[in-house]
Chains A and B, each alone.
Chain A
Amino acid sequence: GQNIDQPTEMTATEGAIVQINCTYQTSGFNGLFWYQQHAGEAPTFLSYNVLDGLEEKGRFSSFLSRSKGYSYLLLKELQMKDSASYLCAVPYPNAGNMLTFGGGTRLMVKP
């Protein structure tokens, strides 16, 4: 089976750095996705990690450790517009790349 765990909510201050963790269990690893979703809107793709290590993309970075079943999304220089839910997802193995999503982490950025 597949299982993903993320914290439900986090709060951080504008300009700060925040790390959102995700742990997963899957019978056949095929990458890990991070999506951002503002309230009432569609998720938008942030990152895809398939190899161990840190991938940086502007203010956002994503880290993966396959041996630990662990990933995190790092947001730097937080802005108010970063207030959103952040969804961690992994594909089902050998199943048309269906995604299993975590419950999402709602991040609130305060002034």
Chain B
Amino acid sequence: DGGITQSPKYLFRKEGQNVTLSCEQNLNHDAMYWYRQDPGQGLRLIYYSQIVNDFQKGDIAEGYSVSREKKESFPLTVTSAQKNPTAFYLCASRDLTSTDTQYFGPGTRLTVL
């Protein structure tokens, strides 16, 4: 089955620890995106990547880092520098050659204890 997978679904972390959220897609999409969603609010862009080994900061990149070593994978690291990391994190991808639509993974809910 083609799609976008994120793991884990739920993640708990102690304050001060870094944690990496996984995002994998087998849709052969060029672009991938990370969004953060807080309760009752819309999505805010953290980072995006249009090509392997290249990525750009979004609106709220501070305290986060990403890598794009493979087309299929775009992991997000939430570092200890992120002051309020508890949120729902969504990964999305898009085929730049054929559609303007972004398709989302199931999300990871991160809770900092």
Contact = CB atoms under 8 A, between A and B. Distances in A.
Instruction: Please indicate whether A and B come from the same complex rather than being unrelated chains.
Output: yes
Interface of A: 4, 8, 30-31, 33, 40-45, 48, 87, 89, 91, 96-104, 106
B90 A42 contact: yes
Given A87-B42, A97-B94, A106-B40, A42 B106 contact: yes
Q: Is the interface of B mostly helix, strand, loop or mixed?
A: strand
A43 B43 contact: yes
A97 B97 CA distance: 12
Contacts, number: 61
B33 interface: yes
A98 B58 contact: yes
Interface of B: 31, 33, 35, 40-45, 48, 50, 56, 58, 88, 90, 94, 96, 100-107, 109
B42 A45 contact: no
13 contacts: A33-B100, A40-B109, A41-B106, A41-B107, A42-B104, A42-B107, A89-B43, A96-B50, A96-B96, A98-B48, A101-B35, A101-B42, A103-B41
B104 A99 contact: no
A13 to B, nearest CB: 23
